[in-house]
Each structure stands twice: as structure tokens, then as C-alpha cells.
Structure 1
Amino acid sequence: MTQTPATKIIAIDDDPTGSQTVHSCLLLTRWDPETLIEALTDAAPLFFVLSNTRGMSADDAASVTREICVNLRQALARLAEAGSPIQPLIVSRSDSTLRGHYPVETDIIAEELGPFDAHFLVPAFFEGGRITRDGVHYLVVDGKPVPVNEAEFAQDSVFGFQHAFLPDYVEEKTAGRIASAEVERFSLDDVRGDIAARLRGLTDNVCCAVDAEQQSDLDNFARQVLAAVGEGKRFLFRSAASLLTSFAALPPQPVAAEAMSAYVRGGRPGVVLVGSHVAKSTRQLETLIEQTDVIPIEIDLERLTRDEESLFHELIDRLETAQHEHHSAVLYTSRGERQFPTKAERLAFGERVSGFLVRLVQNLPRETGFLISKGGITSNDTLSKGLALRTARVLGQIHPGCSVVRCPTDHSRFPDLPVVIFPGNVGGDDALARVYQIIDSSD
């Protein structure tokens, strides 16, 4: 008898923040076939492959995405040959403010794992105040929906864009290969109704833009998508995190947010690392310093370019002193986005800063009780390089949009260290301070 394939949701995540609405699943910082097989056979209904491509050039992003897909195809084939077939549901998880290598990544996934009948853009992320209505993607700021092209994120020096109306965004990003008029729109009325027949009729990897204002919209959409997939339709998704909530349909997380301090090692003080430089992160950093007893330690990026070694040793000394005096510390890069003549130079400087932050994480005091990592690229580097984790399991959310993972018990330097993954663009001005107050148990 032929075994019915089990469906596994596979999120290829361009930074490590896509797990911000789920729990109990694996995050992979490696994607060799053996590690992928481990995740494919894990009990959780989904897992994340942390590609970190948002911090790369388009060419490097394409290369990494292709490598993941080739290895995934091999892992799936090996499981099928062993009598344990898996039906993959692929999600290219990216930023809810539309920054990222689209359509580079979805094109590569389609080449390697297709053909697909459709690919869907679903950027709504309710925990972060991102909704899509009448095809327009909004950020809700102080209760008011603002088209995302009017927000600071649209001015990003690498991923800037002009349109919040998703069909126009698609035409802009595909340089006209997919015309705005060719994008199929799923309105709020559509996703709240019966779209089964329409889903069955999609072919030729048509691009679809999906409205959603609340989780129940995506719950209804996801239920019908999964039914269509069960009938043989093949779909690809470019989405933010909220769609994954609906696909996974997980029960409430086993550890309450307010109880996360129980994981702090020995009740000791910790470190907050802020690499994200967007205005929201800066306001959150300022509130953290104003409202808590955390010791502020600035990483002067101008000095980094001139005198990296002495800066490094000075910062480590200050962290050690704070730990010995039983104080938590916040390490933060000097604020603002530096301007560069070319994207390549901007990315190269970013890589240098990331490498410096990784080195700091590798050399944090061994007694560190917890770590909060603020920013997507910063968090990916923290997990994959700073802590050298091959996999990590998500314990749950400490705040809407902020995951907690834990180092394994046999970690060489930081066994059982809890790590908060805090995206750059999530939460109000007091969110970082609130997360710190929940997890800090060193008083």
C-alpha cells in the first residue's frame, strides 16, 4: 500500500524572525540533507531554514536559496525511497514591510522545486500591525493605517520600493515581467468566503496578492489552501509570519510569556544586543535605557573602522565588569543608517559590523544569564555564528512577534542559554523594555 504523504510546512526564512508567531518547532542554521531530514521527520508541523538572505546581495541570495532547494529535494527523495514520503508546503518567509529579494528567491524556488500552480504574496503580520486591504499593504501606526510605501522601510537603501498596492509592487520588483493587471487579487470578501474552486483553477505559477486584516482571514484562507494541496495543487508562498500561524494551527504555547524568566541561567544578569538601526529600534533602545537599570554600552562604528581591536577588548572588559557587578548590559551600535556610494559598499560595511557583533557574542561572559538579540540579521548571525547552533527549538513568544529559543544543554560555552529573537520592526516604543523586564530576574 502506498503511504499518503504527510504535509510539512517548510519556511525558507530570509532572517530568523519568521518564527515570531509559533512555538515548539526547529530553526535550522544549516541545510545539509541530514539536518533537513532531521527537521522533516520532527514532530512539529513546520520548521524554518534560516537562509539570512536579506543580508546578502541578490546573487548570493540566489545561490544560497538554490543550495537549500537542491538539498531539500535530495532529503525529500531519500525519505520517499525509505517509505516515508513528505508533501512539502514551501513558504518563502520574508519581511512584512516588503523588503527582501523578491522575486529572486521565489524564482529560484520555482526552478528547483516547481512547477507551481501559483505563488501568493501574503505580507500581513498582525502582531506587528501590518494589514492588507483592497490590495494595499498598510502599517498601522498609532491606530491609523499608513500605506507601507510612505513608511521609512520603503526608503531602505537596498530594498527600497515605490508602491504599496501589491500588484504594482509586483510589476515594479519584476521589472514588468509580471504586469500589475496579471496579478490575481484575493480580497477580504474572497478570503472570508469559499475560494476552493478558484484555488483549483489556478495554473502556470500565476502571482496572487492576498488581503487580510485579522488572523481569522488567514485561518479561512489557509484551510482552503491546505485542502487544495491535498487534492494535488502545488502552491508557493511569499509571506510574513501570520500565515504560518494559520498553516501550523498550533495549540497555545506551553510556556507563558510572563514565565520565560524561569529559563534564565542561575537568575544571573544578561546582555541585550541591538544591531538594528531603524528608527523604531532606536526609540525602543532609548526607552530601555531610560526605564530600566541596564548598563548602556555603545559600539562606536566610526571607531570600528579605525581601531577595531582596542574597541573589541574595551567592550568585553565593560561586559565582564557589568556581569561581576550583577548588572545586565545593552550593547548597541551607534545609531542611524550610514550612507554609501553603492549597495555593494553598504553591504560590505554591514558584513564587517555583523562580523564584529558575532565576535562579541562568541566572547560574552560565560556567566551570561540570557541574551536578547534585536534585529533580523543580527539575530541570524547570533544564532548561526555567534552561538554556532546547527538547530534550535522555539520555546514560544515572550512578546507578540518575539521568539525565545534556547541553546542545547551540551553547548560548549553557553549551555541552556535562553535567547530572545527580537525583530527590528516589531513592537511599540516600550516593547524592548517590557521584554527585558519580563526576562531579567537578576534583581
Structure 2
Amino acid sequence: MSLPPHALPESEVLAGLPPVRAVDASEVATRIATAPRLVVLDDDPTGTQTTADLPVLTTWTVDDLRWALRQQSSAFFVLTNTRSLSPEAAATRNREIVRALHEASRAESVPYVIASRGDSTLRGHFPLETDVLAEELTHLGAAPDGVVLVPAYIEAGRLTLDSVHWMRTGDGLLPVGESEFAKDATFGYASSALPDWVEEKTGGRTPADKVVRITLTDLRAGGPEHVADQLSSLRDGATAVVDAVCDDDLRVLALALAAAGEKGTRLLYRVGPSFVRARAGQSAHLPLTAAELRPLRADAAHGLIVVGSHVSLTTRQLNHLREQHGDIGEFELEVAQLLDDTRREAHIQETAAAAAEALERSETVIRTTRTVVTATDPDESLAISRSVSAALVEAVRLVTAARRPAFVIAKGGITSSDTATQGLDIRRAWARGTLLPGIVSLWQPVDGPAAGIPYIVFAGNVGGDTALADALALLRSAA
């Protein structure tokens, strides 16, 4: 498929679309009331940021999964953090989760359907994760007929139109294959047209012309039953890619998926954040207010901000944070010292001690060096990222052990996952809502040492330049 080489005005890209087919979230909620529970295997914690009041697990023992299945919710998240893992480790983790989930499902008599939640800018272990999930489900007697790819993230401006995936920038809509995210050292790619991207990522195993395209015309003019017929035509793990420009498009898809499921079609989903909200029967929620945040804040004066993301947007957001909140403390973990075995531990301890002392006086930032360090080999680059993230997490553990913060903001996908699971020992939580429209999720931990400390998951690649400063301003207003 031929694509424009640069960003285009959004009005130009979205001109001439079929009229929106309005679907209320309550209609989806009613339709899915008896449908299998949606279990979202989230490859980093940022998939929760379009939803509210859904359970989150960071571990996947049978007991934990049984707890989640017993909650009165249409969906729940399992934080896998696989985007930070090697392909082999990611495959192993997915297998473990499916086997434990199947056992928990039988024990609770609650059926399930799996969504593998990946990045809305198309980074992550695809098709490895859906391949492994399909293989495990097949062994369990529930072989998927197809894989449905829906990467849209409406609030963040990640839109799919005519099977081409776009991202909103300051200059307009840019084909995602031309973005900085497509140049990722580990998960890079060239294609913006999803059928071509599927062919690229599968190494030609799934040719672009064999990918089923569900377009806005199908969703808006054809409607749920028409799309259900398209989905029901999938066989032998075939892939379908789905357009979405607004929540109504995704709710049409959710109704179609329910109809296809009622006809016996088994599907596996690979999705961005917005799909989860639609399939869970939720509408977009307004951000949490200061009054709603006030009872969630821990009994402490100041919060901790942990920044591991190195994308340029995060750096700009840090700059605005300094400008708007000039009284914050800021401490850097230098990557060069972290990769030096003779300096690593001392550097972590010195930085953490200084940050803990500053936390008594003001909000405090711990961040990594802004220049990313990579290797020529993708696996080595991922190993460097893991090493840096481990150091950041250790610093968080030391700081919070010395001084309890009022809240913790974690900036970056891998950062927010590792901080939750290793820095704060969060196992079970509820995603309560967002600090900004459709982005920046707040978790309420329900067990462990972090219980009572609101945990804010802030992806590296979302929000405007002032988003981090705005989020902090809201949290400060709740003091």
C-alpha cells in the first residue's frame, strides 16, 4: 500500500468518512454480561489507562487469578511486562499465565477470553505472543479461529483508517512507521499499513493479501452483524486488522465479537488500550478530581516521581515539569556508572539516600540519563534497558523504605512495571481511573507495603509537553 511520506493535517486524513454508528457503552455492557471474562495480558502497565475500577494483577498464581475472577468486573489485567523480556522469556511467561488461568477458570467456573495488550505504536513481541497463546489454547482444547489486531488508542491519537495506522503529532497525523517508535532498537519496523506490518513481523508467513481488513465502512455502514460475519469467516488462526477512529467504532466491534462468539467463533485479540474499554462495556471516564484523589493519597507530604523512559516526549515533559514546579528535587542515575560494576551499587545507594532526604522537603524526581545507551544487537539493547531499569527500581525500593511518599508516579512502560512489582511489591490492585483524559492511570494497591500509596502509571509516549507537570499539579491540589 502506498502512503504519504510525512504528517498530514488530521482534517485531511479524516475527511469523507462514513457517518459514525453510535453505540452506547451500556449496550455493550448488557451484551457481554454473560460473555467470557476478558483477561488482558498487558505487556506493560499502561494498558489500564483507558479504564476505571478494574482489577490488576502483577503476579499470576492460581490463587491470584481466582481472586480476580471472583471480582464483580467485566475484565481484569495481568501485568506480564513481556515487552522488557527476551523472546524466550516472554514466551515462557505467556505459557505460565495461560496454564494458571485455565486452572483458575475451571476452579471458579468462569470462562475467559484473552487479549494480548501491546503498544499502540506497534512495539512488542508480535507475533510471538499471540503464537504462543494460540498454541497453549490449542493444547487446552480451545484453538483460536483467528487473531484480531486492534492497535488504536483514541485519546493518544493512535488511529487506524483504511488499515493504515496513524499517530497524532504536533504537525498532524503521521504514518506510525515513520515515527521515532518505529526505529525502536528492539522492536523496530517499517510498515504503517497493518496488513504489510503483519507480513513484515511474521517474516512473510502471513502475506498482506491474506489479512482480513475490517474497515470503517464495515463497522459504520455494515454494523455489528456484518462484522460478526467477517470475524466468523476466520479459520486456522488467520489475522484480521480493524479500523478505529473513535470509541463508537470499537463498541461496534465489541458487539460483533459477542455475536461471533455466540456463533462459536473463538478469537484471540492483540490490541491497544482503547479496545479494552470498549470490550469491557465502559465509556470514557472523566479524569479523577482533587476531591476523589484526596482520600487516596498516603499520609505524607510529598510524592516520588520515577522517570526511566528516554523518548524525546518524556524529556520535553521533564523540562516543563522543572519550569512549572521549580521547587522539586531531582537526582540522576547515570547510565555510565550503572554499567560499571565497580560503581553501580554505590551510585544507586548514594542517589537513593539523597532522594529520600529531599522527599521530606518537596516532590522528588529520580531519573535515568536522558541519552539512551544501545548496542548493535537488539537483545543486548534490551539487556542494557533491563539493567538500567533494575537500578532505578532498587533506588525506588531504598527511597520508599526510608521515607513513605504521598504517591509514586512512574514514567515509562518498563519503568512502571518494574517499579510496581519490584520497587513497591504490588501484587493486587484496582485501576481507579486517570489523571488526564484517557491517559495516566492511577492504581490503588490492595496489599503489601504499597497499600495506601496511590501508584500512577504514566507511559513514556503519551500526553503533551505539559502532561507530567499537569499530573503533578492535580496531585498537589489533593493535598
Q: Tell me the TM-score normalized by structure 1.
A: 0.93
Question: What amino acid maps onto 2:391 in structure 1?
Answer: F
Matched, 1:407 2:442: no
> Which residue does 2:179 correspond to in 1?
151
**Comparing 86-95 and 173-182, the one that deviates more:** 86-95
CA separation of 1:67 and 1:333: change in aligned 2, threshold 3 A = same
Residue matched to 1:16: 45
Do the aligned partners of 2:310 and 2:371 also contact (CA within 8 Å) in 1? yes
Pick one of 81, 85, 104 that aligns with 1:52. 81
Residues 196-216 of structure 1, C-alpha deviations (whole Å, 9 max, x = no match):
332333322210011111111
Name the aligned partner's letter for residue 266 of structure 1. Answer: D
What is the correspondence of 1:38-437 to structure 2 with a 5 Å cutoff?
Answer: 38-79=67-108, 84=109, 86-114=110-138, 115-142=143-170, 144-192=172-220, 193-194=222-223, 195-250=227-282, 256-262=288-294, 263-266=296-299, 268-292=301-325, 293-306=327-340, 307-325=343-361, 327-364=362-399, 365-399=402-436, 400-408=438-446, 411-412=448-449, 414-437=450-473
Give how far 1:230 is off: 2.6
1:184, 1:341 → 2: CA distance? 36
Q: 2:472 is matched by which residue type in structure 1? A: Y
Q: CA RMSD in A?
A: 1.9
Provide structure 1 residue ranges, at least 5 long, that are not aligned to the other structure. Answer: none
SS at match of 2:115: strand
Are 1:118 and 1:205, in contact at CA under 8 Å, matched by a contact in 2? Answer: yes
**Is the contact between residue 340 and residue 346 of structure 1 (CA under 8 Å) also seen in structure 2?**
yes
Give identity over the alignment, percent.
38
Where structure 2 has 5 or more consecutive residues not aligned to the other structure, the ranges are: 1-32
Q: Which moved more, 1:45-54 or 1:358-367?
A: 358-367
Contact 1:299 1:331 in 2 (8 A): yes
* Conserved 8 A contact 1:257-1:396: no
Q: For residues 254 and 430 of structure 1, do their structure 2 counterparts lie closer, same or farther at Cα, with a shift above 3 Å needed?
A: closer
Aligned in 2, Cα 1:422/1:134: closer, same or farther, shift over 3 Å? same
After superposition, give the CA deviation of every residue in 1:32-65 in whole Å (9 maximum; x if it has no partner): 1121111112111101111111001111111111
Q: Secondary structure at the match of 1:236?
A: strand
| SS across alignment from 2:409 | strand
Kindly tell me: are residues 167 and 6 of structure 1, through their superposed partners in 2, closer, same or farther at Cα, counting changes over 3 Å?
Answer: closer
CA distance in 2, matches of 1:227, 1:366: 52
SS in 2 for 1:368: coil
Give how far 1:344 is off.
2.6
| Amino acid paired to 1:236 | L
Report how many aligned residue pairs link the two structures: 432
Give, in whole Å, the separation in 1 of the partners of 2:208 and 2:283. 38
TM-aligned CA deviation for residue 267 of structure 1: 5.2
Residue in structure 1 matched with residue 26 of structure 2 by the alignment: none
Report deviation, 1:116: 1.2
Contact 2:352 2:398 in 1 (8 A): yes
